[in-house]
Amino acid sequence: MKHPIISGALLCMAALPATTVAQTINFETQDYKSIGVYDTWENSPFRKGQLQGNVAVVDNHLTAMDSTLLIFPNSSEKILGFQRSRYGSNTFGARIDLKETFELKPEIKYVHVLINKPVSGRVMLIGLGKRKERADQSAETEQFWVISNNTVTPNQWCDAVFSIKGAGGIDIHSLVVVPDAESSHTLSSDFACYIDKIVVNDKVTSDIEREDYPINFKKDQTYTRGDRGLKAVKLQASTINVTASITQGKTRVFSDLTSKQFQVKPGQTVTPAFDYSGTWMSGYVYVDYGRDGKFSYDILPDGKPDNSDLVTYSFYKNKNSKGASVNNGNTLVQPSFTIPANLPVGFYRMRYKVDWDNIDPRGNSSNDNNILTNGGAIVDVRLNVHGDSVYVNDANRNGEVLAADGSKLNSYRIPFGKSFTIKMNPERGFTYSGIRLRHGYNLAGDSLVHSTPQYEDIIFKKSQFKKDDTFTIPAIYVDGNLEIEGLFISNTSTVVNDYPVNFDKATKRTRTDRVLNGIGLGEIAYNVANTELMYHNLTSKTFVTRQGSTVKPFVNYSAGWMNAFVYLDKDQDGDFNVEEVGAKGALTESTDLVSFSALTLSDQTRYNSAGTQLDNLNTLNTPAFKIPENLADGFYLMRYKVDWDSTDPAGRVDEQNHIVNNGGAIADIRVLVTKREKVTAKVFSNHGLLTSFDGKDLNNAELALGKGLTVLAKSEKGYKLTGLRLRHGILGGDSIANKVAQYVDTYFTADDIKGGMLQLNGGYVDGDLEFYPTFEPATAEEEAAGEYILVFDDEFNQPNGTQPDPARWTRSVRYGAAWNRWISNSNDVIFCQDGCLVARAIPNPDKSIDNVDMLTGAVETRGLYSFTYGKVEVRLRTNPHRGNFPAAWMMPQPPAEGWPKAGEIDIFEAIDTQNRAYHTIHTNWTYTLGKKNEPQSSFSENVNVADWHVYGVEWDAERITWTVDGQQVGSYAKSTDQNALDKGQWPFTKPFYLILNQSVGNGSWAANADVNHVYETRFDYIRVYQKVPTTGIIEVTSNTNNSNVVYDLSGRRVNTPSKGLYIVNGKKVYIK
């Protein structure tokens, strides 16, 4: 029985609703102003007049019938011919000047270009024009670069579709059609291409549609019933999740999951499976062995596949793919099949289909048993056919990438699926910014073969390398051959690109007293990676805001007598357009300068951008500004500049005041402007789950845009989490649009996810999220070591103005030490607000009642909760001010020896206006005997304490380790010298309790308090984790001693406990 499949194609114009046409050019008459060539490359010979370029309207000689579509796609008499020259850049194209301009608006429009060219790949469209209100702006200003939404088949007429939009008020005067945007710059010969019928309208679909791997329904078709649906597909022990739940009218029937893969070897016999909710359906699986863009499905009279791409099915005409008789089709049990032993390694398209009694890979389209009516589904994935080893090559100039042992990477063979360590070796005069890793197959060819991904490029930054210039490529990326490009950059040359600066971006600061530590917008702040540099590229980070909102920018800069300036590229043209500042600091609507702290105006008065007149320029306080209402949704580049009395976004460089000599700095970052409030998370995982902190599955979860997220990872038995890749932003399109990254891949190691928990600030939730965790087999020793389990936490989510949970916290008592000398029970110094514990130190309103200068707040868990060994994390921020002295710390649960013999563990302390966090232990050994550096017992680091950070301590029987935002900052070990132990070097063997407080200094360490100031520290949460040993029991100190009564961690009685941690007879019990 033969079933040849014909590539489906539709001329859809008759079936679609009428569209609004804004512009049409068909070249039959001169419905255009003029034609020519254009190249964005400034040194192009076509821009310098060295070459002219060939473009002309010619007779149409390409009127033949399309052999695939069986139609005549272009019967017009005239077409535009263009010679693609090998001397132009990859943005060299045919320029069409328009008779009538059209406006680039925030609403998306679509440009359709009929094109015929001899090479495959997508094409680019460039728009040239000017803003209406800028009379002096050239009409040749590049307003947009966009890649076609669809690919172009070589030597066929294709309708390339481009999505365009802008901020409004931009007139497009010319269009440039770039025929081979995906080609290299080193073409060996010219070629001719032809263009016809350019239409601007609101139609998203192509007029001529060719498609690989077609289906018999629209790809955005949703389920028409809620009782049936495909949740996952499997091959052997591997699973690819499709959806967590089926929602009628929302969940799609077809899923393109070709970013996911199953891995097999030639000659291997495998068994696929379906996780399907429903009955009376059958399963069909296909592999495109020929990699020709379609699935053949020939079968023999006995039902067995006839050397076709149909590899297994459970039921068709009362047989399965083994030829065995099947009584009815109510089965999804798939027979096994064998991968051909001679099949070349590579990626193959694999299709899973749930349908009824039909082997057509596109789906049953009959009226009586339609795949949609029956609740069927189709899922496409990749099949990775691999060998035991893969090859690694480098592709570098100005340096080389080596194996860790120094071997050159020239067809270097490594095991498939195993991590691989490399070492950077730049040439003299060069350094590196990271690597570009290409992994997969067909690395020198097209990344898509019949729309199936063949390889992926990923950037690993220098910050992820170790100090010895080595980096371990995670095993997840060793899924095929590797090509590693070292991103070697000159130590001295000036980098010239969009958003320029007036100095070499590699310039180091020349002053030690002036340092840019970080930047912020509203609630989100980021530290710079290397404070030694003048320029900071933070474009992998994001601020999130919305149109019309008022936002407050700020800089964390450790000096005075400088100014701060903030710019926003509103028209996304790759430059900051700064117009003259008006009277009293007024800014025009069209200027990209949005905020400045101080500036001398033309009349020699001094103002900030809020219109406040200043006595002098000594301020870095940038006023809040409003995001324009008319900005389109998308990512924009924002620049922070610390400089002196200059609006030049590239930096002041005159002899009198040079940004480098003055110790200034520039930092670029992305800002997402959007009206969206919710985003969607997807999780692609085998052998483990990802949930939110409250235990909800993150796959298909809706999240609040721009809000921080706590991710919990749970591995299956026998596996461990070794890393996680997070893709976040505007997904599904090009990674670069309007010269700004639209999405970013961030890689987290196991060290970043200690205890199975990862803290993501709101900057990571800047659009939809895709999580790619890696769970690898764990050794017996790793399993025996146990895993961290949350045993105590307080999120402080009580109603505003109420007190913290009395089952967890009690007020600290006033004594004579600096931190507790003014402690008060007043509700004004300890209370819950906006999901935080607020601790304050306030001026004493009535000394006649309590004769102290200030009242301070402190709470502790003494007598309510204490523990021995574990991990504590507390998220907090404080407001620096002279005399500020907040802390999160631990003391031994009584009865215990007096201080300091019993010990003290300070998780976090800060003082005064310092942007430093301190972490210390106190013992008889360090304090009484003065041996603070035997070993080092106190650590501190630069951190903007006014921002939210997670401060942690991990304590076991041998060592205490401190972390900030998951990064280790210090460690104190138990001595191996018995004499030191006898003198109190390690008293940390008994239960300790928790303390959170806002105190003020007395001049001994923190400065004397400003008794007229209100000090405040906010604690977002505190969490304690302990490792669950194989016995499932953890000893704790608790007030719960009632026999045979079970309580949860909040002290509530539980009659029927499920899996988790509970308190039983004074012990925490982990019920497995």
- Give the Cα separation of 331 and 283 in Å (integer): 8
Give pLDDT tens digits for 26-59: 999 999 999 999 998 888 899 888 999 999 999 9
Longest dimension (CA), the chain: 102
Exposure string of 46-69, with b = 16+ CB inside 10 Å and e = fewer, is bbeeeeebebebeebeeeeebeeb
**pLDDT band at residue 653 under the 50/70/90 scheme:** confident
Q: Residue 15's pLDDT is what?
A: 30
Which residues sit opposite 998 in a β-bridge? 857, 886
Query: Considering only CA atoms, which of 208, 190, 191 is closest in space to residue 199?
Result: 208
Please say whether the beta carbons of 832 and 838 come within 8 A.
Answer: yes
Six-digit token string for 1029: 């040993």
For 184-199, the three-class secondary structure string (H helix, E strand, C coil) is CCCCCCCEEEEEEEEE
Please say if 909 is a catalytic residue: yes
Q: Tens digits of per-residue pLDDT, 569-583?
A: 998 877 888 999 999
757-761, 816-820, 1020-1024: which range is least confident on average?
757-761
Classify residue 679 as exposed, middle or buried by CB count within 10 Å of its CB (0-12, 13-18, 19+): buried
Residue recorded with tokens 């009226």: 367
For residue 1061, the one-letter residue type is L
Domains of the chain: 9-210 (2.60.120.260), 229-385 (2.70.50), 389-490 (no CATH), 516-673 (no CATH), 678-779 (no CATH), 792-1028 (2.60.120.200), 1033-1071 (no CATH)
Structure tokens at 1003: 């001049």
Confidence at residue 5, expressed as pLDDT on a 0 to 100 scale: 34
Instruction: Provide the pLDDT for residue 734.
Output: 65
How far is residue 638's CA from residue 967's CA, in Å, rounded to a whole number? 27
**Residue 474 contacts residue 722 (beta carbons within 8 Å):** yes
What single-letter amino acid sits at 200?
V
Confidence of residue 1046 (pLDDT cuts 50, 70, 90): low
- Convert the pLDDT of each residue in 896-943 to its tens digit: 888 999 999 999 999 999 999 999 999 999 999 999 999 999 999 989
> Among 16-25, 132-141, 237-246, 872-881, which is the least confidently predicted range?
16-25
Rounded distance, CA 985 to CA 931, Å? 9
**CB-based contact 175:110 (threshold 8 Å):** no
Measure CA 719 to chain center.
25
End-to-end CA distance of the chain: 54
| CA 895 remoteness from chain centre | 49
Q: What is the pLDDT of residue 12?
A: 32
Count CB-CB contacts under 10 A for residue 476: 18
Per-residue model confidence (pLDDT) at position 1037: 32
Q: Are 899 and 992 in contact (CB under 8 A)?
A: no
Q: Are 191 and 159 a contacting pair, CB within 8 Å?
A: no
The three-class DSSP label of residue 934 is coil
The residue-averaged pLDDT of 519-533 equals 87
Clarify whether 589 is annotated catalytic: no
Q: State which of 139-153, 530-544, 596-610 shows the largest mean pLDDT.
A: 596-610
Do the Cβ atoms of 791 and 1026 come closer than 8 Å? yes
Tokens of 333: 């049990």
**Torsion sign, CA atoms 564, 569, 575, 577:** negative
DSSP letter (8 states) at residue 579: P
From 873, 904, 954, 1016, the catalytic residue: 904
Of all residues in the chain, the percent with pLDDT exceeding 70 is 90
Q: How confident is the model at residue 1026 (pLDDT cuts 50, 70, 90)?
A: confident
- What average pLDDT does the structure give for the chain? 87
Q: How confident is the model at residue 4 (pLDDT cuts 50, 70, 90)?
A: very low
Amino acid making up residue 433: S
- Among the listed residues 167, 165, 170, the one whose alpha carbon sits nearest the alpha carbon of residue 200: 165
* Residues 6 or more apart in contact with residue 1056 via CB below 8 angstroms: none
Bridge partners, residue 839, by sequence:
830, 1017
* pLDDT given for residue 1054 in this prediction: 58
Residue among 909, 934, 941, 954 flagged as catalytic: 909
The strand pairing partners of 680, in sequence order, are: 702
Average pLDDT on 1038-1064 reads: 49
Give residue 306's pLDDT: 92
Phi-psi region of 267 (alpha: psi -120 to 50; beta: other; left: phi over 0): left
Q: What is the pLDDT of residues 963-1006, one digit of tens each?
A: 999 889 999 999 999 999 999 999 999 999 999 999 999 999 99
Q: Kindly list the distances between the CA atom of residue 879 and the CA atoms of 882, 945, 1014, in Å, as whole numbers in the listed order.
A: 10, 7, 10
Q: What is the pLDDT of residues 681-728, one digit of tens each?
A: 999 988 888 988 777 899 999 999 988 888 888 888 888 888 899 999
* DSSP for residue 853: S
Element (H, E) at 259: strand 254-264
DSSP designation for 686 = S
- A 10 A CB-CB count for 1002 gives 17
594: left (phi over 0), alpha (psi -120 to 50) or beta: alpha
For residue 226, how far is the Cα from the chain centroid?
32
1020, 839 contact by CB (below 8 A): no
Residue 629, Cβ neighbours under 10 Å: how many?
Answer: 9
CB 396 within 8 A of CB 424: no
Per-residue pLDDT, 216: 78
